[in-house]
Amino acid sequence: RKEVEQDPGPFNVPEGATVAFNCTYSNSASQSFFWYRQDCRKEPKLLMSVYSSGNEDGRFTAQLNRASQYISLLIRDSKLSDSATYLCVVSRPNSGYSTLTFGKGTMLLVSP
């Protein structure tokens, strides 16, 4: 099982649609979870952290299921500007510290 796995997509959705991204991770010791957004040929930027109880930021909702080692991101009322690649990011213990492992990303294309 790969450390962090995501459906590569692309997900093609119309404006206003609801879209969900899934991510699974293999290291049960992982404690920190994030969703990053990356626009084409640009740097990744933090979209939101993912907390155990689930969290919401406007149209975005992130959920974590530790038992299943599964993370999700839900985007409601999609906008054209949401078109990007969404990276699932998970920490893992490494030599006394933790480091981040990035999924390969899921591409989202929102059309008019």
Q: Cα separation of 39 and 56, whole Å? A: 21
Type of residue found at 78: S
18 binds other proteins (CB under 8 A): no
Q: Which of 12, 18, 31, 65 binds other proteins (CB under 8 A)?
A: 31
Q: Which of 32, 52, 65, 111 binds other proteins (CB under 8 A)?
A: 32
CB atoms within 10 A of CB 88: 27
Mask for 41-60, x = binds other proteins (CB under 8 A): xxxxxx--x-----------
Q: Going by C-beta distance under 8 Å and a sequence separation of 6 or more, which residues neighbour residue 76?
A: 18, 59, 60, 61
Q: Cα separation of 80 and 64, whole Å? A: 26
**Closer residue to other proteins (CB): 45 or 59:** 45
**Where on the chain is the footprint of other proteins (CB under 8 A)?**
29, 31-32, 34, 41-46, 49, 87, 91, 93, 95-100, 102-105
